[in-house]
Structure 1
């Protein structure tokens, strides 16, 4: 039997960072995001070797473990091995199972599209299908978060896992004790289409480790850094405003909120922006963009620009000259899904 799964990557529209502890535990966090038709994929199958095989196809890294070899979830295969270990320990009586685990993604790690967390969701979804585990969207997302943040000790928030599990446009609420409420939004077709026509995604060519930025944000909250905390309060309120703009079809208000969120986000940690990002932003505004934002924690990865659709061609041509690359995308309503091939 072969099981395949996929989970969608997301664009963070507003509120990103308020889903990170300890801010969301103390104040509560709000995030607006939407998933796109770029995915992380996982494949589970019975290995011919009868052993445990792990392979990140797009990275070109693989490892085979014999029955007596200890499984250490580290290195470039830590996500694959971490999910395998947790599923075996929590659902399969702690017994290692012969299994071939393969993954690949439409976006590189550090892209700012939630690629690492989305990969964990795709893996959990695949394991749930393979072993017939009774896990719904909330359970898949929470387990993925637990594996990534607690088992593997990787710093980050919660929005990526829930976006990948649920799919679509969502307004999310984050509270203490890992309580999460996902509010799916019904978006008018013309708003959906206008947003797709107005948004441009540009990869800076710089993948960054979000953990360092997130650690700085968390320290700022713990130390009571007023500027950083006030910025997070603003981001939280802008997520509410973004939700209202999307539901009403207020595209001008949406652009203002997007830009205000980016300006507030820069105050959360010093490494969120840098000269490369600022140069690309200047070029974009000189060529038709009226809002800009770095997707994800910041520091690199994908930048998102909003423009009038008639300015899109000129904007994309100017950005292409900056040395990065553009990514065509469409929004998607479908969250994590899996299927069997017998």
Structure 2
């Protein structure tokens, strides 16, 4: 018996940063995002031993430890160790991991992996959990157990899937699924480019700098966060009514506001690519994730999309084929080629 799960990666359109404590507790945060057809995968093969053997198929890493030995976090597959500990796993298994994007890409891949882990373990241990509970548990694993700096949007995006407007308050998170008309979704997909800039970044360092500036009351950071929250609401409205050129222009405004949060968010290479895209006809865009590298999202009128794409490839940008995916976390059992129920 093999228990499998997959959780989608996401692109964040607006509001990123307002989900990072302590801002949402003090002012409330708001993020607009959508999941795409790139995934984090987990496979669990239970056995009767008291050994957990974990293998990353992407990095050819392997760890093994005996239950109930104390978990030691040493930088080697710590997300898995923490998930097994927090979920109370007390039996042996082989665990295999795979992701369509590396950590630090800006697509929320680390959080999607934790959501996939929670989903697979929940299926294995037969624990009833809602999407909210799964997302919250994934957040606790990353931010509390492992003390990794970051926000809350990625876990909820991966657990729920689709287009969501997510609001963050002092004591709660509210996920508002958006009913985007098919023609609007198709048009948005047609006009967006996803370009890999290189330079995998350490998002925790950027977030720590942003939080430090906010706690000190740095005017630019405080102003940038307020602008990002307002832009998230404006962008949600533009998307719901199909005003996509306005959506593209708001992407640009959001990127300018995002850069106010920390001097580490952009760099000369990213600025060069972004300015080139605007020069060739893009209406707006933003770097996905905390900043510093990874994927650049651009909105281009269809008459200019190919021109922008060619220009970016000429200077070393790598365009990625992708599409929206409206499904969140999924888990199922595979037994000798026979597929059993999906949850």
Provide the TM-score with structure 2 as the length reference. 0.95
* C-alpha distance in structure 2 between counterparts of 1:97 and 1:296, whole Å: 36
Alignment correspondent of 1:54? 54
Q: 1:117 aligns to what?
A: 111
C-alpha distance in 1 between matches for 2:126 and 2:184? 38
Paired residue for 1:339, among 321, 326, 332? 332
How far is 1:20 from its partner?
A: 0.3
Identify if the C-alpha distance between structure 1 residues 25 and 165 changes in structure 2 by more than 3 Å, giving closer, same or farther.
Answer: same
Q: Does 1:72 align with 2:72?
A: yes
Q: 1:144 aligns with which of 115, 138, 141?
A: 138
Q: What is the alpha-carbon distance in structure 2 between the residues aligned to residue 48 and residue 286 of structure 1?
A: 61
1:251 to 238, 244, 251: 244
Q: CA RMSD in A?
A: 1.3
Alignment partners' CA distance in 2, 1:269 and 1:57: 34
Name which of 182, 187, 198 aligns with 1:194.
187
How far did residue 235 of structure 1 move?
0.3
TM-score (norm 1): 0.95
Query: Shift of the alpha carbon at 1:74?
Result: 3.0
- Residue in structure 2 matched with residue 176 of structure 1 by the alignment: 170
How big is each residue's C-alpha offset from its partner over 1:193-232, in whole Å with a ceiling of 9 and x where there is no partner? 0110111001111100100111111112211112111110
Find the residue that maps to 2:17 and give its secondary structure: coil
- Pairing 1:1-342 to 2, within 5 Å after superposition: 1-47=1-47, 51-67=51-67, 69-88=69-88, 96-177=90-171, 179-342=172-335
Contact 2:104 2:201 in 1 (8 A): yes
**Alpha-carbon distance in structure 2 between the residues aligned to 1:67 and 1:252:** 55
Native 8 Å contact 1:47 1:53 kept in 2? no
SS in 2 for 1:38: strand
Provide structure 2 residue ranges, at least 5 long, that are not aligned to the other structure.
336-343
1:72-116 Cα deviation digits (max 9, x unpaired): 13313001111011111xxx5xxx311112111001110001111
Paired residues in the alignment total 335
